[in-house]
Amino acid sequence: MEPTASPATRTEHDAIGAFDVPADAYYGIDTARAAQNFPVSGLRLSRAFLRTLALLKRSAARANRDLGVLDGELAEAIVTAAGEVADGRWDGEFIVDVFQTGSGTSTNMNANEVIANRANELLGGGPKGTYNPIHPNDHVNKGQSSNDVIPTTMQVAGLTAIQHGLLPALYRLESSLSAKATAFDGVVKTGRTHLMDATPIRLGQEFTGYAGQVERARRRLSLACESLREVPLGGTAVGTGVNTHPEFAGRTLAYLSESLRLQLRETTNHFQAQSTIDAVVDASAALRGLAVSLVKVANDIRLMGSGPRAGLYELALPALQPGSSIMPGKVNPVIPESVIQVAAQVVGNDATIAMAGQWGFFELNTMFPVAAYNLLQSIELLTNAATIFATKCIDGLEATENGPRMVEEGLSIATPLAPVIGYDRTAELANEAFRTRRSIREVARASGVLPEADLDRLLDARRMTGR
């Protein structure tokens, strides 16, 4: 027995049968069924994904119009409606859970239905759900399949977010770290290996290392972007391009490239492009590498700022908020801690994407939605974390006197003596200095092992740090 529509619903039909849809909804039966089938998480694909999907639909309508396979008036209505979706006007109509059919068909149809109903409204067509004169499949989805549209959207949305968001944020962070490397170049402090005292290093040299980590992570991301540019659009169902014009993908991508200020290209091998998400796995690995680098930098800064009385306190971090609900006056390294938590999430997202990448069976990977969600979340988190790390922590760092003061008290400052008096004799001096709580200089001077001038030259901490 068919459902009976109430005043608040309309009844639509598909190959399975009839289904009630909210009367005023721009989405249709396919979306409504998916919403009922997948009440999993309440999570939705991101604004960046929806924007890219809508821009792809807009570009496809223009390409089909140019190719003479879509009426010009219908195409213009689709272009306008898709533009509204891209601008976020109809975000509330996208109700499908992330954890849905692995091809993302439900999200693709969600877009097709919203755009079709809005385009018909613009043309003064029939009521919502009648799809007259524009049909979600026949017109909005013309020349396309979820199997090539969704992975294309995922790659392009990721590429856009990296190029226009994450890479600029990394340039900003790298610049902040480089500026501190210059500012701290004259600050000589104790180096540490295995968390134990080692030979002296300049604080600026440490920050040069941090800036270098970010710079190399940025380069790895740029390389990953080249894989994301090559998209599967045009392969339709299984990579053969059935039901699409041979020029459709190239023309659509030209319009999409213009809209996004990117260079996109159709893959030269459709059979790998939609049966795998190798490009996304590669990009996620680069994001994971960046996350791991940020943990290193954030942890070092957090540890160098520890104290201020019972820790290292070689760096003074900006005081942004009270650090304790019970200990008055306590200030914590909140920004490094936030960055480290972001990194943990990104590493977890990468594990999900790696598993998703294994789920390509024959002609299709069936983990598109969850891979897209995690990829775009990682990019957004890292973009925001890099920005606040630079602006709310790195820019405000100050060097204290603790680092230089502890250099002279360090034991590894004895290292340059070893080539002159031998390793074993130098170790004896270091052990005696530790045991008697004296400096290496004091013990060496008392032992008469070398003339004072030689000791001054060999125990010059600044000289030990190189150029």
**Positions marked catalytic:** 194, 324
The residues, any chain, with a CB within 8 Å of residue 123's CB and separated by 6 or more, are 73, 74, 77, 133, 134
Q: Nearest CA to 279 among 360, 362, 166?
A: 360
DSSP-assigned states of every residue in 341-405: HHHHHHHHHHHHHHHHHT-EETTEES-HHHHHHHHHHHHHHHHHHHHHHHHHTGGG-EE-SHHHH
DSSP code for 93: G
- Both tokens of 451, joined, read 């003339």
Q: Which residue has the tokens 């659509």?
A: 252
Amino acid symbol at 324: S
Contact predicate 266/253, CB 8 Å: yes
Give CA 291 to chain center in angstroms.
9
Cα Rg of the chain, angstroms: 30
275 touches 232 (CB < 8 A): no
Alpha-carbon dihedral sign for residues 301, 303, 304, 307: positive
Report CA-CA distances (Å) from 203 to 298, 300, 405, 414, 430. 15, 11, 13, 20, 24
**Side chain identity, residue 85:** V
Backbone dihedral angles phi then psi of residue 136, each to the nearest 5 degrees: -60, -40
Cα(11)–Cα(164) distance, rounded to whole angstroms?
Answer: 43
H or E stretch including 283?
Answer: helix 278-304
The 8-class DSSP code of residue 189 comes to E
What are 213's two structure tokens? 């980590």
- Cα–Cα separations (whole angstroms), residue 430 to 412, 417, 450: 8, 11, 15
